[in-house]
Amino acid sequence: MITTGTARSGRTSAAVAILGTGSCLPSHVVGNDEVAAAAGVTDEWIRLKTGIRSRRRAKPDEATSDLAIAAGRAAMEAAGIGAADLSLIVVATSTPDQPQPATASVVADGLGAGHGTAAFDVNAVCSGFVFALNAAQHVLAAADSPYALVIGADIYSRILNPADRRTAILFGDGAGAVVLGPARPGRGLLAGRLAGFGAERDLIEVPAGGSRLPASPETLAGGLHYFTMNGRGVRDFVNATVAPAVTAFVEESGFTAGAVDHFVPHQANGRMLEDLSATLGIAAGSTRVTYEDFGNTGAASVPITLDRAARSGQLEDGDLVLLAGFGGGMAMGLSLLRWQRTHPSHSTTYA
């Protein structure tokens, strides 16, 4: 477990804050009826089990980088900076455009980032955005420019088995982004914690397509290129590991759950989030959600939800915000920050 910073309620802010947010959701809306039949369930069953009503699906000619570029542009517009101001671009994804090069390189080129701008990917599956956020915060300390762009983007529709009701009903496509830059006194990223639980890595996986099981007619016939998930095992992991870790993180940072103004968790499953918020003692109405409309968007879910909260005016300057990513690996990423509101809200970008 890595602790990337600590905070106390009386301490001044960290050096880095979120200056702007952005998101991109594909225009094609997929309702429950569209995925229910192939999965052998009903709209009512999906709503009861997950709380999801719809999700977005990328067009056939759209790749992860396309959504990431649009979200990045929206975040930079909100922050009032251009691509030339960036020293770093980090893309969190487990559905890259291709194995090589990094999707972040495609994004950097698409945004028109300056020659020499560092760009790399992070694959911590659904925790990826919070991992990338923590990494970028520390890279900025030695960067030529004080600005970084951190993006979470995934197109899970390309790796789902339509007949698998454990996964096909949950996931949607999308991207979310934030710009990091100088914090005002009393604002910014206060603390972070990253943790991995490799012994439980088989709870969520795509078995084939890598060096252990290269893609072949046999792996395709066996469906080994599809995303798989042990739903019950994941729920047990969240209850037994994530919930107590979040509580400890908040308390060790000098706060209580009651002090959290906005809890922005990975949008894994609506029912799971209801249980998690109740276990943590997060105040009613403080958990920010987007799963009803967008489903589980992987590494994009935390930044999409944060962007929606920011642009709807829910986040006030100085609010205490808790970000929590968890999922495949298994992995968990946490960040605690004082919100720094700098620009008026804009509308969400749709591809």
Hey, which residues does 120 pair with through a beta bridge? 90
pLDDT of residue 8: 42
Number of domains in the chain: 1
Q: Are strands 320-327 and 331-338 parallel, antiparallel or unpaired?
A: antiparallel
pLDDT of residue 348: 44
pLDDT value at residue 64: 98
CA distance linking residue 79 with residue 179, whole number of Å: 7
Residue ranges of the chain with per-residue pLDDT less than 70:
1, 4-14, 343-351
CATH code, domain carrying 286: 3.40.47.10
Distance (Å, rounded) from C-alpha 221 to C-alpha 219? 5
From the candidates 32, 123, 126, 262, give the one annotated as an active-site residue: 126
CA distance 63 to 333: 25
Query: 24 catalytic, yes or no?
Result: no
How many CB atoms within 10 Å of residue 264? 28
Residues 6+ apart with CB under 8 A from 49: 169, 269, 271
| Residue 4 parent element (H or E) | strand 2-5
**111: Cβ–Cβ under 8 A, 6 or more apart, which residues?**
69, 72, 73, 76, 83, 86, 89, 149
Alpha helices in 151-283 (DSSP H): 217-221, 231-237, 243-252, 270-280
User: Of 32, 123, 134, 296, which one is the catalytic site residue?
Assistant: 296
Q: Which residues contact 80 (CB under 8 A, 6 or more apart)?
A: 19, 20, 342, 343
Written as one string, the DSSP assignment of 248-286 is HHHHHTT--GGG-SEEEE--S-HHHHHHHHHHHTPPTT-
How far, CA to CA in Å, does 177 sit from each of 57, 129, 326, 327?
Answer: 18, 9, 18, 19
Which of 123, 134, 262, 266 is an active site residue?
A: 266
Residue 172's domain spans which residues? 1-351
The reported pLDDT for the residue numbered 342 is 73
- The first and second tokens of residue 135, run together, are 């990494």
Residues 181-203 have pLDDT tens digits of 999 999 999 999 999 999 999 99
Residues 322 and 234: beta-carbon distance below 8 Å: no
